[in-house]
């Protein structure tokens, strides 16, 4: 294949060894942290919102940092967060809409 040689690693650059990720939360710890994002008023609201998006959707922090108020859209079926091709829906009365 033409051009594929430029994607190969030079022989003098060893492969990075595979490592087990440290500090992965189990399911209960994730839900506990999510509940904290919803209810812990000692945390700033932007931190709570970012944490909830990260924990629920795995949204990268780099993408969360770029979110603005105009990414939210209220409709009859709930509030939509536009973060790409498929808006995320937060239905009225759902657990995530109770954050204050």
Q: Which of 54, 52, 60 lies closest to 95 in space, CA to CA?
A: 52
pLDDT of residue 96: 45
Rounded to a whole number of angstroms, the distance between the first and last alpha carbons of the chain is 56
Helix (H) or strand (E) holding 33: helix 27-39
Domain boundaries, the chain: 26-94
pLDDT digits (tens, 9 = 90+) for 11-55: 677 777 777 777 788 899 999 999 999 999 999 999 999 999 999
**Which of 26-35, 63-72, 89-98 is predicted most confidently?**
26-35
At residue 35, the 3 state secondary structure works out as: helix
| Residues β-bridged to residue 90 | 79
pTM as predicted:
0.62
């Amino acid at each position: 294949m033409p051009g594929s040689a430029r994607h190969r690693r030079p022989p003098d650059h060893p492969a990075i060894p595979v490592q087990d990720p440290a500090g992965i939360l189990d399911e209960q710890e994730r839900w506990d942290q999510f509940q904290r994002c919803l209810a812990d008023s000692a945390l700033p609201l932007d931190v709570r919102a970012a944490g909830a998006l990260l924990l629920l959707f795995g949204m990268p922090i780099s993408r969360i940092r770029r979110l603005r108020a105009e990414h939210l859209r209220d409709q009859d079926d709930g509030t939509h967060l536009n973060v790409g091709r498929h808006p995320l829906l937060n239905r009225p009365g759902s657990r995530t809409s109770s954050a204050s």
